[in-house]
């Protein structure tokens, strides 16, 4: 072995050369000693975070991927654009889209919540393969399309804090797992954004939010009211979260707006229950011949007021022509939220199918 590479290993890594051991290898033809040392340092950093042996062998992890993994596992942002210090999605020019660590929207992985304003917790485990949704979002992320004028990564520090580790065999324990996870996110002053699962998961999120903000307003976009007391004798289900939330005082019912209701119901009194408890309902047909802008201006924002608001977005709120990948299809609406005004303190979206 060339003495210069041996010297570099000894100096940079302070460890003897150990052939045929994970994380240690000879220099590739195009590598300088410095590049080799940086690669192995990155591999060691990655292994310390993942608590797994460092693997950067020739056939396992190429040097440039290993260096990238090391930086991202330390929670560092990708190269900022135009002097910005906010995290940016990893460009397809820097790493192929199928490659790298599968984080939400290809944003840097954050080993700790420090310094993050928005955190993505992806909730696994739901019927119809919904537990594959976190992986689907990881693979499809990137910069938003320019025609929509959205540039969240220029004004917000967004990071991925991983999937919520929920049990798959006990729904009450899963609810507790989600609640505790969201409490940890809120404890760092972040706005949690949850993706995946069914609408049951709104209930533990609201429980966590109440501990910090008290009863909050709700902007609920859905084809269904989800205010059933039970579903097939079960109190915790995707059609019961807002009934449970009202019973436990999690919502400021004077500041609850439900938009897009139109789907089939389990009884004739579902919407009546919402109205009796102070909810404001905007039926889907009200949106057919109007823009959402005047509806938001006249019927939504005045109700939500200036207090904290939680957004709960069931994908079946959209017409199946635009979002067919859901378990409860209900034709009849197109648009959602045109702008942000109240202090939204959390957001979740549900009922996605992985293949869509």
Residues 228 and 296 in one domain: yes
pLDDT for position 125: 43
Instruction: Please give the C-alpha separations between residue 55 and each of 20, 63, 106, in angstroms, as whole numbers.
Output: 11, 10, 22
Q: Residue 7 and residue 58: Cα distance in Å, rounded? A: 21
| Structural domain ending residue among the three candidates 14, 40, 73 | 73
Q: Give the structural domain span for 213.
A: 198-356
Residues 114 and 218 in one domain: no
CB of 222 closer than 8 Å to CB of 158: no
pLDDT for position 245: 97
Residue 234 domain flag:
yes
pLDDT for position 269: 72
Residues 220 and 329 in one domain: yes
Residues 239 and 274 in one domain: yes
pLDDT along the chain (356 residues), means of 10: 47 46 57 70 58 41 43 42 68 70 76 62 50 61 64 80 86 94 92 85 95 95 90 90 96 95 73 92 84 88 93 84 68 53 67 53
pLDDT for position 138: 63
Tokens 């290898």 — which residue?
25
pLDDT for position 337: 47
pLDDT for position 100: 74
């Amino acid at each position: 072995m060339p003495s210069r590479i041996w010297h570099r290993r000894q100096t940079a890594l302070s460890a003897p050369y150990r052939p045929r051991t994970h994380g240690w290898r000879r220099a590739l033809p195009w590598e300088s000693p410095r590049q080799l040392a940086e690669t192995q340092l990155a591999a060691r950093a990655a292994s310390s975070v993942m608590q797994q042996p460092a693997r950067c062998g020739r056939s396992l992890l190429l040097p440039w991927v290993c260096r990238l993994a090391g930086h991202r596992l330390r929670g560092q942002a990708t190269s900022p654009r135009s002097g910005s210090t906010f995290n940016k999605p990893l460009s397809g020019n820097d790493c192929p889209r199928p490659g790298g660590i599968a984080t939400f929207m290809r944003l840097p992985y954050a080993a700790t919540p420090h310094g993050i304003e928005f955190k993505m917790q992806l909730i696994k485990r739901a019927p119809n393969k919904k537990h594959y949704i976190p992986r689907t979002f990881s693979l499809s992320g990137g910069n938003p399309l320019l025609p929509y004028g959205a540039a969240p990564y220029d004004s917000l520090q967004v990071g991925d804090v991983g999937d919520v580790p929920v049990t798959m065999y006990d729904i009450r324990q899963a609810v507790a797992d989600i609640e505790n996870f969201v409490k940890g996110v809120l404890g760092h002053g972040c706005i949690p954004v949850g993706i995946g699962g069914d609408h049951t998961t709104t209930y533990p999120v609201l429980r966590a939010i109440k501990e910090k903000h008290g009863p909050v307003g709700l902007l609920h976009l859905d084809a269904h009211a989800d205010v059933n007391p039970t579903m097939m004798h079960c109190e915790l289900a995707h059609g019961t979260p807002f009934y449970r939330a009202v019973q436990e005082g999690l919502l400021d019912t004077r500041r609850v707006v439900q938009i897009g209701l139109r789907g089939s119901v389990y009884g004739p009194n579902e919407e009546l229950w919402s109205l009796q408890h102070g909810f404001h309902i905007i039926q889907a047909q009200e949106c057919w011949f109007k823009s959402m802008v005047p509806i938001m201006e006249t019927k939504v924002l005045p109700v939500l007021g200036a207090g904290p608001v939680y957004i709960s977005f069931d994908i079946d709120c959209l017409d199946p022509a635009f979002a067919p990948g859901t378990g409860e299809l209900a034709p009849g609406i197109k648009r959602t939220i045109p702008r942000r005004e109240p202090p939204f303190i959390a957001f979740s979206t549900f009922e996605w199918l992985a293949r869509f």
